[in-house]
Amino acid sequence: MRFFRLLGPLDVVLDGRHVRVPAGKRRVVLAALLVKAREVVGVDELVELVGGTRNALQTTVGRLREDLGVPELVLTRAGGYLIDVAPDEVDVHLFGRVGAEEALGLWRGRPFADIGSDRLERDHGPALTETYLAVLEARVEEDLRGGRHEQVVGELRTLTRQHPARERMWAQLVRALHHAGRQAEALQAYEDVRRKLAEELGVDPGRELQLAHQEVLRADNRPRARNDLPGDIADFAGRQADLDEVLAAVPAGTVAITAIDGMAGIGKTTLAVRAAHRLKERFPDAQLFVDLHSYTEGVEPRTPADALFALLTALGVPAKDVPDELDARRRCTGPRWRTAGRWWCWTTRAVRRRCGRCCRAAGW
DSSP string for residues in 249-295: TS-TTS-EE------TTSSHHHHHHHHHHHHGGG-TTEE------SS
Q: Is residue 286 part of a domain?
A: yes
Do 333 and 236 fall within a single domain? yes
Q: Is residue 61 part of a domain?
A: yes
> Of 197, 218, 239, which marks where a domain is finished?
218
Do 233 and 123 fall within a single domain? no
Q: Is residue 96 part of a domain?
A: no
Q: Among 43-52, 219-228, 297-306, whose mean pLDDT is lowest?
A: 219-228
Residues 6+ apart with CB under 8 A from 258: 246, 249, 250, 344, 345, 346
Report pLDDT for 344.
45
Q: Is residue 103 part of a domain?
A: no
Do 200 and 231 fall within a single domain? no
Do 241 and 345 fall within a single domain? yes
Number of domains in the chain: 3
Do 55 and 141 fall within a single domain? no
- Segment (H or E) for 114: none
Does the structure show a pLDDT above 80 at 341?
A: no
Do 198 and 263 fall within a single domain? no
CATH (domain of 53): 1.10.10.10
Mean pLDDT of 332-343: 46
Do 240 and 197 fall within a single domain? no
In this predicted model, which residue has the larger pLDDT, 183 or 301?
183
Which phi and psi (to 5°) does residue 111 adopt?
-60, 140
Q: What residues make up the domain containing 230?
A: 226-362
Do 213 and 243 fall within a single domain? no
Do 135 and 21 fall within a single domain? no
User: What does the radius of gyration of the chain's CA atoms come to, in whole angstroms?
Assistant: 35
Residues 278-332: tens digit of each pLDDT: 877 777 667 788 777 666 666 678 788 888 777 777 776 777 777 888 777 777 6
State the Cα–Cα distance between residues 345 and 356, nearest whole angstrom. Answer: 9
> Of 164, 190, 218, which marks where a domain is finished?
218
Do 161 and 51 fall within a single domain? no
152 contacts 175 by C-beta, under 8 angstroms:
no
Q: Is residue 106 part of a domain?
A: no
State the Cα–Cα distance between residues 136 and 130, nearest whole angstrom. Answer: 10
Q: Is residue 95 part of a domain?
A: no
Residues 138-157: tens digit of each pLDDT: 999 999 999 999 999 999 99
Q: Is residue 101 part of a domain?
A: no
Q: Among 24-28, 181-185, 194-198, 359-363, whose mean pLDDT is lowest?
A: 359-363
Residues 73-122: tens digit of each pLDDT: 999 999 999 999 999 999 999 998 888 889 999 999 999 999 999 999 99
Do 358 and 231 fall within a single domain? yes
